[in-house]
Amino acid sequence: METALGGKEGKGGQTGMKQQPERTDAVENRAEEETGLKVRDSDGLTVRQRNWVDTIVDEGVSNIEAARRVCNSTEHAAKSFAARQPRLPHVQAYMQKRVMDAIGIAALRSVNTLNRLAVAAKSEYVQLEASKDVLDRAGFKPIDRAQVQVAGDIKVSIDLA
């Protein structure tokens, strides 16, 4: 359709500008429409994105393997999904939160293991090293030994007379 100025009117009433197609993943969009997974929660994640991150963090699998499990689609669609998700800021934020939570839980287990070793290990060497580690983490680090060097000439005279 032409406008009064001689330009062509595109979709949405814009003149003289070409409409660029939106970047979509047909397989993902169709699946989301069928299952309702497009719904985003308060942090902007879809159910599929949240499940993808949870699978990676909880099970320690690769991006593509997690996408295969979550998307239930072709290899190509899984690779496409796995390549896109880490670039999205809201997905990155959720992944970082989940990783920090996992590290916190592992740290608690590690502290309990150290305490158990410090008290109940059969080897005295293991008890000693575990105790040192616990004290170090509590802020009681031993003093570092330093070698002191004096700059300059030192003359020693011994008079036996």
pLDDT of residue 137: 81
DSSP 70: H
Residue range 120-160, pLDDT digits in tens: 999 999 988 888 888 888 888 777 777 777 777 878 888 88
Which are the contacts of 70, defined by CB distance < 8 A and separation ≥ 6? 48, 51, 52, 55, 81
pLDDT of residue 96: 94
CA distance 28 to 78: 9
| Nearest one of 103, 87, 93, 81 to 42, comparing CA atoms | 93
Question: For every one of its 161 residues, what pLDDT tens digit does the chain have, with 9 covering 90 and above?
Answer: 444 445 444 444 444 444 444 444 455 455 455 444 566 777 889 999 999 999 999 999 999 999 999 988 888 999 999 999 999 999 999 999 999 999 888 888 888 888 899 899 999 999 888 888 888 888 887 777 777 777 778 788 888 87
